[in-house]
A and B are shown apart, each in its own frame.
Chain A
Amino acid sequence: MCRMFQCYTEVNCDACRCLTDELFVVEHARTAILQPTREDFQRIPELAINPLGDRIINAFFPEGEDQVNFRGFMRTLAHFRPIEDNEKSKDQNGPEPLNSRSNKLHFAFRLYDLDKDDKISRDELLQVLRMMVGVNISDEQLGSIADRTIQEADQDGDCAISFAEFVKVLEKVDVEQKMSIRFLH
């Protein structure tokens, strides 16, 4: 819990202030209830043209709910805090911080895995691929790309990607850098 608080305070007062620039917080400040809903997220125009916009918005909302409070919001954002070196040597016995590599990868994994069965099936992969790719790729080509992706990752032969396999495929990718945002300017 103290990790969460750490993340919270760091990720920060400044982020709160910069969030006041965002529409939904302004909107809600008037009603003094800081509980944005999905529509408020969708009002961010840049997210509307992000291919994964819906999934990202979905990631903010806890299971089954339609509103997110500030704490939940910060919790999601805390995944993107850059990993600092001095944290690596801190106590290994405590709970893993939200912005560890493993948790970042878990966050990404959850964006793929909609039915939350801890596997990325071919269908789910195809859906994400289709979202990321234009209209010029035919279904067969996309299907073969998805097949190839699964083939490269799959080790236990179940034709789906589990979290462990996901981690293994990405071991050479610099996830810490790709999934980190410097919140303070």
Chain B
Amino acid sequence: MHLFLKFLCETVHGGRGGYPQFFSLPRCHLPFRRSLQTTTTETKHCLLILVGLLLGGIIFGAEEKSPPVMNSDVFFLYLLPPIVLDAGYFMPTRLFFENFGTIFWYAVVGTLWNAIGIGISLFGICQISAFGLTDITLLQNLLFGSLISAVDPVAVLAVFENIHVNEQLYILVFGESLLNDAITVVLYNLFKSFCQMRTIQVIDIFAGIANFFIVGIGGVLIGILLGFVAAFTTRFTHKIRVIEPLFVFLYSYLSYITAEMFHLSGIMAITACAMTMNKYVEENVSQKSYTTIKYFMKMLSSVSETLIFIFMGVSTVGKNHEWNWAFVSFTLLFCLIWRALGVFVLTQIINVFRTIPLTFKDQFIIAYGGLRGAICFSLVFLLPPSVFPRKKLFITAVIVVIFFTVFIQGITIRPLVEFLDVKRSNKKQPAVSEEIYNRFFDHVKTGIEDVCGHWGHNFWRDKFKKFDNKYLRRLLIRENQPKSSIVSLYKKLEIKHAIEMAESGMISKVPSSVSLSEYHEGKIKPLSPTEMENMREILTKNLYQIRHRTMSYNRHSLAADANEKQAKEILIRRRHSFRESLRKTNSLSRERPAAANTKRFLSLPKNTKLPEKLRVRNKTSSRVGDSSDSEMDATTTVLNLRPRAGKILREQRLRQQRPPSEFSMEWKNEVDGSQNGRGEQQEPGSLPQPSIGFRQPLLTRPRFGTLSREDLTADHGLARPVPPPRLVRQASQGERQRSKPENQPY
């Protein structure tokens, strides 16, 4: 009982000591970070453990025996796979493979370093007879070291968002967390089997190393194989949409179980399966199934993690503890020391090979953010007590380490980093304009990076892409051409109507040129500090975010919809302003040289199938910026835009060979509509005049719609049918609602 009280006091004290400090830190010197989160993952974990402790205490008090402890089957078969699946599914694959060397280095070598280092130093401590630990053998220490080196750094990703936008660092931490789980489990099994053998020969060590590789690679192969099978299956599921998500989950779980059955690494298998499946499944399943998959996956992993932490709290209370000051404190010490040393040394070595080196702050975050989590906890419960007479000691030590890292390190990492940040940053309050300029520069830089294809080239990636395009995509992805051009035409009309409605909601916000010219000289008055503060706040909230290539990963939520909303607003405004400028220049001259070919692409950021997409768009047309299907998250948009664009280009080329009569150009005629002030309508069968030297980028899929200036000139001879009354009315209403056109340079 006194143990329980001791633990409770320690945690509560640690918690109480941590909270006020955390909440009282001023945040005004961090104006433009990606998210101003008020609740953090670390505090969530702490609260969960506290709840578990409470529960455990209640059960213990009520029944006077140890509460039910999570056993290994439950953990490894039911609680762990969803977490790993979630991490693998949302992993940005391209970034992952580009940094694979570094990730592998940190995960494998780092984990080995930690495991062996902690094991050997603990063995050294155990040799000191004063501590009463001499019966713990070297192998047992090594095993203990391997299980306690399982770091779960995903919790620190939330911290990264707020202080440091470094994609390389992000993917490093993320990838390391995935891989080192697998490696820890493999090492654990290895050492456990060693412990159970009577004698160990050198050949066994080599066999162990070979086994390590076989287990890892075998798991990956199984995962990839089943990932392909899953993708292939989804190719044929267009008649049975409702059970599409089921296939995704079933195949992933199947890969996990199969790998475990063959004594290979289930974690690697499920990760590989998720990463493989991701690309192809996205394109095959319907919009709603895709949403379902993502939300369900997040739900499962959230639930698993919550349960694990509560179990941890519950299991702490009870009689299966053995306290030994030396062992526990030295374990904690060595964990910290070896982690810091490991990260530091590895970084020095890896920085030689990287063009963008990791700074000291990055290293500090990685080292300090090495929180231990559920894996070590469950692994220690799995130890067979026959081979490990001091099992209770191990359990106690592990629990102390976990509690320490989760509570103390988890809560203090953010303030510490802010402290580090503040010291180096300028103490002066930034002027209002500086924030604008900073954001301006960031946007420009991002834009230029996008233009020059910042990510560089890679021989293997190109080869894989070629192979992928030639064979895999043909095999695994279903082609979905619309059946008839009339159907697609109708759908285009719907979508245009939807855009109109969205746009009319937004037009009123565009400043009229009247207000722009309303400027009286000499009216600038000096502002008080509160007004400046207000201004800064307004700017912080409303300035558009820079587009980030990788979304932040959070186990408990999907990527924010803010980016989607922002993208929509920008696109709609551009389209509107372009149309206005065209209208203006149109009134000046209707003849434009063919070379003045400015097109706008209205990329409705969605990628998959035609019919569902459009119906979805239709339903959500009245609500700008949010929809029930707002999984149109920037993850998909951002990460897949390039391959998407390539695919579109391919399709364009394909279409160029087909007879152009199938084409109907949706937005083209709305530009003409501006000539007679009437609404936009469609003309089925209207052609781009190839004689003008017109290139053919237009697509029938409403994924992209284009406005073409040249089409103005092309339209002289074409008679336009009378549009359906509904559209005309709407369109003319839309015209009336528009404010005076903004003065745009184009």
Contacts and interface: CB of A to CB of B under 8 A. Distances in A.
Interface in B591-649: 595-601, 603, 605, 637-638, 641-642, 644-646, 649
B22 interface: no
Given A42-B599, A132-B436, A18 B452 contact: yes
B511 interface: yes
Contacts of B511: 126, 130, 139, 142
A136 B596 CA distance: 34
A46 B450 contact: yes
A10 interface: no
A182 B447 contact: no
A131 B569 CA distance: 10
Interface in A25-72: 26-27, 37-39, 41-54, 56, 58, 60, 66-67
A22 B436 CA distance: 30
A135 B603 contact: no
Interface stretch (A1-9, A90-98, A151-159): A151-159
B566 A134 contact: yes
B49 to A, nearest CB: 40
B325 interface: no
A39 B566 contact: no
Nearest to A30: B653
A164 interface: no
B441 A148 contact: no
Interface in A116-162: 122-123, 126-137, 139, 141-145, 147-153, 159
Nearest to A50: B447
Interface size class of B (residues with CB under 8 A): 35 or more
B596 A123 contact: no
Contacts of A150: 524
A173 B438 contact: yes
B539 interface: yes
Given A21-B457, A133-B542, A173-B438, A39 B447 contact: no
B213 interface: no
Interface stretch (B200-208, B373-381, B425-433, B666-674): B425-433
B736 to A, nearest CB: 20
B448 interface: yes
A54 B573 CA distance: 12
Contact of A52 (B444, B601, B645): B444
B437 A170 contact: yes
B85 to A, nearest CB: 29
Contact of B433 (A43, A123, A135, A169): A169
Contact of A185 (B433, B456, B697, B745): B456
A19 B452 contact: yes
B356 interface: yes
Contacts of B532: 148
Contacts of A58: 745
B441 A108 contact: yes
Contacts of A23: 645-646, 649
B121 to A, nearest CB: 39
Nearest to A41: B451
Contact of A14 (B434, B440, B456, B742): B456
Contacts of B527: 148
A179 interface: yes
B479 interface: no
A45 B453 contact: no
B597 A37 contact: yes
A133 B521 contact: no
A130 to B, nearest CB: 6
Contacts of B438: 173, 178
A49 B567 CA distance: 5
Nearest to B517: A123
Contacts of B745: 58, 114
A48 B603 contact: yes
Contacts of B601: 42-43, 45, 48
A39 B539 CA distance: 32
Contacts of B526: 151
B443 interface: yes
A150 B437 CA distance: 12
Contact of B448 (A45, A49, A170, A181): A181
A39 B440 contact: no
Nearest to B568: A49
B236 interface: no
A61 to B, nearest CB: 11
Contacts of B691: none
A166 B120 CA distance: 61
Given A48-B601, A148-B535, A159-B521, A15 B356 contact: no
B515 A18 contact: no
Nearest to B641: A45
B600 to A, nearest CB: 6
Contacts of A141: 535, 538
Given A39-B599, A66-B597, A135 B569 contact: yes
A49 B570 contact: yes
Given A134-B566, A173-B438, A179-B441, A15 B600 contact: no
Contacts of A22: 451-453
Contacts of B433: 148-149, 152-153, 169
A58 B745 CA distance: 10
Contacts of B441: 108, 173, 175, 178-179
A55 to B, nearest CB: 8
A135 B644 contact: no
User: Which of A21, A46, A123, A151 has the most chain B CB atoms closer than 10 A to its own CB?
Assistant: A46
Nearest to A74: B452
Contacts of A15: 452
B542 A136 contact: yes
A148 B432 contact: yes
B524 to A, nearest CB: 5
Contacts of A21: 453, 457, 642
A125 B88 CA distance: 45
B448 A80 contact: yes
User: Which of A80, A135, A142, A145 has the most chain B CB atoms closer than 10 A to its own CB?
Assistant: A135
Interface in B662-713: 695, 697
B583 interface: no
Contacts of A135: 506, 509, 569
B451 A56 contact: yes
B598 A39 contact: yes
Interface in B188-233: none
A22 B450 CA distance: 9
Contact of B524 (A26, A41, A139, A151): A151
Contacts of A184: 355, 456
A77 B547 contact: no
Given A47-B450, A126-B511, A139-B515, A178 B442 contact: yes
B452 A27 contact: no
A172 interface: yes
B431 A46 contact: no
23 contacts: A17-B457, A21-B453, A38-B597, A42-B601, A44-B450, A48-B571, A50-B447, A54-B574, A56-B447, A56-B451, A108-B444, A111-B440, A127-B742, A128-B440, A132-B436, A132-B439, A133-B543, A139-B515, A141-B538, A153-B433, A173-B441, A179-B441, A185-B455
A-B pairs with the 6 shortest C-beta distances?
A185-B456, A149-B433, A46-B450, A135-B509, A49-B567, A56-B447
Given A178-B438, A181-B449, A185-B456, 12 more contacts: A18-B453, A22-B453, A48-B601, A51-B544, A52-B440, A52-B447, A127-B516, A136-B542, A137-B542, A149-B433, A152-B431, A152-B432
Interface of B: 355-356, 426, 431-434, 436-457, 506, 509-511, 515-517, 519, 521-524, 526-527, 532, 535, 538-539, 541-544, 547, 566-567, 569-571, 573-574, 595-601, 603, 605, 637-638, 641-642, 644-646, 649, 695, 697, 742-743, 745-746
Interface of A: 14-15, 17-19, 21-23, 26-27, 37-39, 41-54, 56, 58, 60, 66-67, 77, 80, 108, 111, 114, 122-123, 126-137, 139, 141-145, 147-153, 159, 169-170, 172-173, 175, 178-179, 181-185
